[in-house]
Chains A and B, each alone.
Chain A
Amino acid sequence: MKLQEIVDSLSLEVKTPSSDLTKEVTGGYVSDLLSDVIANSKEGHVWVTLQTHQNIVAVAALRELSGIILVNNKIPEPETLKKAEEEGIPIMVTSLPAFEIVGRLYALGLRCR
Chain B
Amino acid sequence: MPDVVREGVFFLKGKDFDNAGAASSEIKAVLEQMGVDRSIIRRAAIASFEAEMNVIIYTPAGILRYKIAPDYINVVFDDVGPGIEDVDLAMKEGYSTAPDFIRDMGFGSGMGLPNIKKNADELKISSQPGVGTNLEFIIHIKKINEAPGNS
Contact = CB atoms under 8 A, between A and B. Distances in A.
Contacts of B77: none
Contacts of A54: 17-18
A32 B106 contact: yes
**Interface class of chain B by DSSP:** helix
Contacts of B115: 35, 38-39
Nearest to B38: A43
Contact of B105 (A38, A55, A61, A62): A55
Given A61-B25, A79-B18, A36 B111 contact: yes
A20 to B, nearest CB: 16
Interface residues of A, number: 19
Contacts of A34: 53, 105-107, 109
A79 B19 CA distance: 11
Interface in B83-117: 105-107, 109, 111-112, 115
Given A32-B106, A35-B111, A39-B111, A55 B21 contact: yes
Contacts, number: 58
A45 to B, nearest CB: 13
Q: How many B residues touch the partner, as a band?
A: 20 to 34
Nearest to A33: B109
Interface string A17-57: 00000000000000011111011000000000101011110
A38 B50 contact: yes
B46 interface: yes
Given A51-B106, A61-B25, A62-B28, A35 B17 contact: no
B111 A62 contact: no
A79 B21 CA distance: 14
12 contacts: A33-B109, A34-B106, A35-B50, A38-B49, A39-B111, A53-B17, A53-B105, A55-B17, A55-B53, A55-B107, A58-B20, A61-B21
